[in-house]
Each structure stands twice: as C-alpha cells, then as structure tokens.
C-alpha cells in the first residue's frame, strides 16, 4: 500500500496574541459526496456533488465501489490507494495537440479581498504515464465555467470568456511529481482579490511551454502525463500583523548553504514582511543580523552584516524604499536567552527585525 505524506513548513516565528482556527473552504474536498442515481457515468458531472469539469473534456472518477476500469485502488490508469476515504479523481495534464483535462471545485464562500489563503492537495502520477510535469497551477475564478472545447486553458483563452475574472497561482510540490508510488503534496499561498468562488486545477501552459521532468528523447503522439488527485484543503490564514517595537525572529538557518544567501523559506518569510510594509506605509523596519560565537569577533560581525543586508536587499528589490529599511550586523554580542526574546531552540545565527514608526532620515 502506498503511504501518506505530509508537508510541514515553518517560514516565520511570530509572537502573536491571537489563535486562528482553520476551516476547509473547499466543498467535497475528498470526493466522497456522491449523487444518488441509477447507472451513474464515470465522469465528474454525473457522480460528484460540487465537483465538475470546466471544459468539455472528461475528467475521470475512481471509487472502491465502481466497476473495474474506474475502481480504486486498481483501475485502467494504474494502482493507487485513495489518500482518504474511498475515491479520487484523475486527469490528463499533458497530451498531444494541447488536449487538457481540468478539475473545477467550489468554495464554501467567496474569498475575502486582500486576505491570505493556503491551499493543499495531493497528486500521484499514474503508472501508465510516460511523461511527468515539473509543476501545476490553480486558477481562481468568479464563476463556474463550462467552456465547449478540450484544449489548454491559457490566460489568453480565459480572457475571451465574458464576465470572467481570474488569477493564476503556482503550486509547489514537496517532492518530484514523477513519483508513481506515493501521494505528493502540492501547496500554495496567495492573497485573494475578493471575487474567487471556484477553483480550477491543472496545467494551463501549452505543450511547448510545459516543463517536463520525465520524458523520452522523442515524445510520440501517444505519450501523456496523467495524475490522480485527492484530499483538498483550503484555509484562510491570519493576516500578517506585527506589533511595533517588538522583536521578531526569522526562522533558523535561513542562509544555507553559503551562510548569508536567503533560501526558499527565508524568501517566503521576507515576502510576508513585504506585504505588511506595503499595506502600512507609516512603518519603518530595522533588521539586525546575529551570528554564533565560533569565529573571531571581526568575522562574526562581517557574516551577521551580510545576513541583515541580504534581507534588506530582497525587500528593496521587491519595491520597499531605502528610507524605510535600516539594517546592521552585531556579530555574537547578543546571544539568545538574554531575556529579550524567547530562544525556542533557535541557534544564535539568526536575523531579528523590529517594526517602528517611520522617521525621515
């Protein structure tokens, strides 16, 4: 049996005063709510509540109680146990002549403008696939779609749909999407625009623009990438807020491998800070780099300065003006555990930041 996987990412430690209770904002997220009918077809529109295809292509549904071709775990595309419950769906994410299949889900309510959200779901490449994709996307829209074609839904094609508002968000996989054994977790965080009430999942790039990670030297007309999909979860995140004159600590070791360049998690933390600074023009930020005590005082001050500078430059590159960011490195002169901040097991090599009232230089 193929095992379940989970993804846990800690991108920022915040000392805050509120508790946030997550609620899944996807209806029928595990594809278990099935319509009662006689001789139901295998296509989504006939079987599942609040789940559909946005185009005329026929996305598949697999369930332990269905006949052999559409059963689970064994079916006409391979073998995979449901991540949860008894069912999952499957779709062609790449096929010749830009044929595509998409999944369309309902949200429990229209998303709130400028509020952050996080979506997670699982995919697994079917064994019959000769191709595998490097990434997928979601497209959030303001209405249910029923487009009478089976071609790729590029942004230019979506622009032609009357009255449609949409935006695309890339999702990140926790491991290679060529894995046919285990479920892969895809995750994305985004800020809502205030119109979103349906979500499309799939590959929104043409074949020529699709990045593959598993492919023969010559792709034939019969080659494809087909993915099983299951276990959706979307939650509203607490809005980013920082108390003024309070010390915050970015995550541990955000500068590997060179010691001062931001890694992916550190960049994600900086992007949250950027959003806060953009929405609060009256705030100024002070960044302080720290190091452990293993080097000489001169080297420790040097490396801590590089760390603070790396965060400052990243924020400036995204659009924060120079006069709103102050940074310095102080080496190992203020180790954790001195009563100013709680260490929580974090190493002394770190970056702290404080939000203050804006003061002209």
Residue 210 shares a structural domain with residue 93: yes
Residue 218 shares a structural domain with residue 295: no
Amino acid 35: pLDDT: 74
Is 193 domain-assigned?
A: yes
Residues 288-311: tens digit of each pLDDT: 998 888 889 898 899 889 989 999
Closest CA relative to residue 203, chosen from 226, 222, 221: 226
Cis peptide before 257 (omega within 30 of 0): yes
> Averaged over 230-235, what is the pLDDT?
98
**pLDDT category, 240, cuts 50, 70, 90?**
confident
Residues 97-109: tens digit of each pLDDT: 999 999 999 999 9
**pLDDT category, 36, cuts 50, 70, 90?**
low
Q: Which of 204, 236, 268 is the last residue of a domain?
A: 236
* pTM of the model as a whole: 0.71
CA dist 99 and 59 (Å) reads: 12
CATH (domain of 316): 3.30.1330.60
The fraction of the chain above a pLDDT of 70, given in percent, is: 85
| Alpha-carbon dihedral sign for residues 252, 258, 260, 265 | negative
Residue 330 shares a structural domain with residue 302: yes
Residues 135-145: tens digit of each pLDDT: 999 999 999 99
Q: Which of 190, 207, 236 is the last residue of a domain?
A: 236
Residue 214 shares a structural domain with residue 294: no
- What are the tokens at 284? 């100024």
Amino acid 345: pLDDT: 35
Contact 153, 91 (CB under 8 A): no
Residue 104 shares a structural domain with residue 225: yes
Residue 134 shares a structural domain with residue 275: no
> Averaged over 160-176, what is the pLDDT?
96
| Per-range mean pLDDT, top range of 12-16, 51-55, 334-338 | 51-55
Domains identified in the chain, total number = 2
Is 162 domain-assigned?
A: yes
Name the more confident of 314 and 39: 314
Burial tier of 310 (Cβ tally within 10 Å: 0-12, 13-18, 19+): buried
Three-state SS sequence of the chain:
CCCCCCCCCCCEECCCCCCCCCCCCECCCCCCCECCCCCCCCEHHHHECCEECCECCCCEEEECCCCHHHCCCEECCEECCCCCCCEEEEEEEECHHHECCCEEEEECCCCCCCCEEEEEEEEEECCCCCCEECCCEEEEECCCCCECCCECCCHHHHCCCCCCCEEEEECEECCCCCCCCCCEEEEEEEECCCCCCEEEEECCCCHHHCCEEECCCCCCCCCCEEEEEEEEEEEECCCCCCCECCEEEECCCCCCCCCCCCCHHHHHHHHHHHHHHHHCCCEEEEEEEECCCCCCHHHHHHHHHHHHHHHHHHHHHHCCCHHHEEEEECCCCCCCCCCCCCCCCCCCCEEEEEEEECCCC
Is 131 domain-assigned?
A: yes
Residue 110 shares a structural domain with residue 202: yes
- Per-residue pLDDT at 252 exceeds 60: no
Is 99 domain-assigned?
A: yes
Is 303 domain-assigned?
A: yes
Closest CA relative to residue 5, chosen from 121, 90, 89: 121
Residue 258 shares a structural domain with residue 232: no
CATH (domain of 212): 2.60.120.260
Is 197 domain-assigned?
A: yes
Residue 102 shares a structural domain with residue 231: yes
Contact 136, 186 (CB under 8 A): yes
> Averaged over 251-267, what is the pLDDT?
62
Q: Could you tell me the CA-to-CA distances from 138 to 31, 101, 202, 227, 252 in Å, in that order?
A: 18, 13, 6, 15, 30
Amino acid 347: pLDDT: 63
Closest CA relative to residue 236, chosen from 186, 184, 194: 194
Residue 285 shares a structural domain with residue 159: no
- Per-residue pLDDT at 82 exceeds 60: yes
Three-state SS sequence of 16-44:
CCCCCCCCCCECCCCCCCECCCCCCCCEH
Is 241 domain-assigned?
A: no
Is 8 domain-assigned?
A: no
Q: Which of 203, 236, 269 is the last residue of a domain?
A: 236
Residue 222 shares a structural domain with residue 316: no
- Domain encompassing residue 172: 18-236
CB atoms < 10 A from the CB of 247, how many?
15
- What are the tokens at 82? 């449901």
Residue 201 shares a structural domain with residue 278: no
């Amino acid at each position: 049996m193929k095992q379940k996987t989970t993804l846990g990412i800690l991108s920022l430690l915040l000392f805050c005063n509120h508790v946030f209770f997550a609620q899944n904002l996807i209806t029928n997220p595990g594809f278990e709510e099935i319509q009662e009918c006689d001789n139901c077809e295998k296509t989504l529109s006939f079987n599942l509540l609040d789940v559909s295809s946005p185009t005329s292509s026929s996305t598949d549904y697999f369930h332990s109680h269905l006949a052999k071709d559409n059963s689970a775990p064994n079916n006409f595309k391979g073998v995979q146990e449901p991540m949860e419950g008894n069912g999952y769906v499957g779709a062609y994410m790449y096929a010749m002549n830009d044929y595509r299949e998409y999944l369309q889900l309902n949200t429990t309510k229209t998303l709130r403008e400028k509020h952050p959200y996080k979506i997670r779901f699982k995919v697994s490449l079917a064994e019959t696939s000769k191709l595998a994709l490097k990434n997928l996307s979601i497209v959030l829209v303001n209405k249910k779609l029923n487009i009478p074609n089976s071609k790729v839904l590029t942004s230019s094609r979506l622009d032609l749909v009357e009255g449609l508002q949409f935006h695309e968000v890339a999702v990140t996989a926790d491991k290679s999407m060529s894995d046919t054994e285990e479920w892969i977790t895809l995750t994305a965080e985004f800020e809502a625009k205030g119109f979103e009430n349906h979500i499309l999942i799939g590959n929104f790039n043409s074949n020529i623009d699709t990045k593959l990670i598993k492919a023969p030297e010559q792709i034939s007309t019969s080659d494809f990438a087909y993915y099983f999909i299951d276990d959706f979860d979307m939650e509203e995140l607490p809005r980013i807020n920082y108390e003024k004159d309070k010390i915050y600590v970015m995550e541990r070791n955000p500068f590997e491998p060179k010691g001062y360049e931001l890694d992916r998690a550190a960049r994600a933390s900086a992007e949250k800070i950027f959003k806060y600074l953009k929405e609060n023009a009256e705030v100024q930020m002070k960044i302080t780099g720290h190091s452990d005590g293993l080097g000489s005082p001169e080297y420790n001050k040097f490396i801590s300065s590089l760390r603070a500078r790396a965060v400052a430059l990243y924020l400036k590159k995204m659009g924060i003006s120079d006069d709103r960011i102050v940074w310095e490195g102080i080496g190992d002169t203020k180790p954790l555990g001195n009563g100013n901040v709680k260490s929580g097991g974090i190493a002394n090599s770190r970056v702290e930041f404080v939000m203050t009232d804006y003061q002209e230089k």
